[in-house]
């Protein structure tokens, strides 16, 4: 059976693509046949984060329009077996995706035996983002501990609950997971950043994980490597926990408190 999972947020730049790449890679590392789809038409980026940009020949829009078949379009990951990337088109025509076409591709992927179909949503709450979430069974709502990100996440929750296929057809609702990224325990402790508890209380969505702010994320994106492959990096480790938790393992949340005390704290704290 296949599960379609959208990585969404409303607000831009909060870490959707970073998350989609890490999450899909993690699922495949657990042996699940997984594809990650870039829905950001016109602003293809997932290929760079996955490090496969030079092997992109056809894209999502080509596939929908029948210019290429699925085998020609899917890019197979070189590192992880069972991991595939479906790149976005670089066309500037935002209307290039349509629900009928996206639905047909989803069905074909299911027939091909993909267990997980991860949809990397573009920013915003308009057609692109709605296209990415429409067929979803589950949603990773990516949120930064910051006012505008939280408000937008809440708006996206409203859209998941009213505009998705499941809502329209009266099916069970999309299963929502909260993923807090770019968390900085030090700033939470000084009272400048909303805490995990605050965010859960505000959004009331079950917490899947907390990914700390980490330098490794930039280094990995520079190298074209999903951060989950960097076992030394805290963000990478947090994503590994997220995937294990998603698959039903019990894992305590890590990186919620400051590790080393800063100079000021040691003197006065």
Partner 1 sequence: MGENMGFLEYFRSEKKGSAAVAKERLQVVIAHQRSSRGRHAYLPELQQELLTVIRKYVQISDDQVHIQLDRDGDCEVLELNITLPD
- Contact positions vs ligand ATP (CB under 6 A): 9, 12-18, 40, 122-123, 181-182, 211, 213-214, 217-218, 221, 235
Is the distance from CB of 139 to CB of 10 less than 8 angstroms?
no
Strand 83-86, strand 34-38: pairing: parallel
Residue 158 Cβ vs partner 1, minimum distance, rounded to whole Å: 5
**Rule CB under 8 A: is residue 256 a binding residue for partner 1?**
no
- Binders of partner 1 among residues 113 to 152 (CB under 8 A) are 146-147, 150-151
Which residues make beta-bridge pairs with 177?
140
List the x/- string, 196-235, binding to partner 1 by CB under 8 A. Answer: --x---xx--------------------------------
Segment interacting with partner 1, rule: CB under 8 A, options 115-123, 131-139, 157-165, 214-222 = 157-165
Query: Distances from the Cα of 194 to the Cαs of 5, 64, 145, 153, 219, in angstroms?
Result: 27, 42, 5, 15, 26
Beta-carbon contacts of residue 136 (< 8 Å; ≥ 6 apart): 4, 5, 6, 119, 160, 164, 165, 166, 174
The one segment of 45-53, 80-88, 108-116, 191-199 that binds partner 1 by CB under 8 A: 191-199
DSSP assignment of 173-188, as one string?
A: PPEEEEEEEEE-HHHH
Cα 33 from Cα 29, distance rounded (Å)? 9
Please pick, from the candidates 65, 162, 219, 261, the single residue that binds partner 1 as defined by CB under 8 A: 162
| Distance from C-alpha of 135 to C-alpha of 6, rounded to nearest angstrom | 9
Query: Which is closer to Mg ion, CB of 188 or CB of 227?
Result: 227
Nearest CB to Mg ion, comparing residues 16 and 177: 16
- 192 and 147 Cβ atoms separated by less than 8 Å: no
φ/ψ bin of 248: left (φ > 0), alpha (ψ from -120 to 50), beta (otherwise): left
Which one of the spans 104-112, 122-130, 189-197, 239-247 is the region binding partner 1 (CB under 8 A)?
189-197
Residue pointed to by tokens 């197979």: 76
The nearer residue to partner 1, 95 or 268, going by C-beta atoms, is 268
- Does 261 interact with partner 1 (rule: CB under 8 A)? no
Please state the closest distance from residue 248 (CB atom) to partner 1, in A.
30
C-alpha torsion angle, residues 126, 59, 30, 137 (rounded to 10): 30
Residues that bind Mg ion (CB under 5 A): 16-17
Residues that bind partner 1 (CB under 8 A): 146-147, 150-151, 154-155, 158, 161-163, 167-170, 188, 190-195, 198, 202-203, 268
């Amino acid at each position: 059976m296949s599960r379609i999972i959208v990585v969404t947020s409303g607000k831009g730049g909060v870490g959707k693509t970073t998350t989609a790449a890490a999450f899909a890679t993690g699922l495949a590392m657990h042996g699940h046949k997984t594809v990650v789809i870039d829905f950001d038409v016109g602003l293809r980026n997932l290929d760079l984060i996955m490090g496969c940009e030079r092997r992109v020949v056809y894209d999502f829009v080509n596939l929908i329009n029948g210019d290429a078949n699925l085998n020609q379009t899917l890019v197979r990951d070189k590192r992880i077996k069972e991991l595939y990337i479906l790149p976005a088109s670089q066309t500037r025509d935002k209307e290039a995706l349509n629900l009928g076409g996206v639905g047909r591709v989803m069905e074909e992927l299911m027939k091909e035996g993909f267990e997980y179909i991860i949809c990397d949503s573009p920013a915003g709450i308009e057609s692109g983002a709605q296209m990415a979430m429409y067929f979803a069974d589950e949603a990773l709502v990516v949120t930064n501990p910051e006012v505008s990100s939280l408000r937008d996440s809440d708006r996206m929750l409203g859209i998941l609950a009213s505009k998705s296929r499941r809502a329209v057809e009266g099916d069970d609702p999309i299963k929502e997971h909260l993923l807090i990224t770019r968390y900085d325990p030090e700033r939470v402790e000084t009272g400048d950043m909303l805490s995990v508890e605050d965010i859960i209380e505000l959004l009331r969505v079950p917490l899947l994980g907390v990914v700390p702010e980490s330098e490794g994320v930039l280094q990995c994106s520079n190298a074209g490597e999903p951060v989950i492959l960097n076992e030394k990096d805290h963000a990478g480790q947090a994503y590994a926990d997220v995937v294990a938790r998603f698959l039903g393992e019990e894992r305590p949340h890590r990186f919620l408190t400051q590790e080393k005390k800063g100079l000021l704290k040691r003197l006065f704290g």
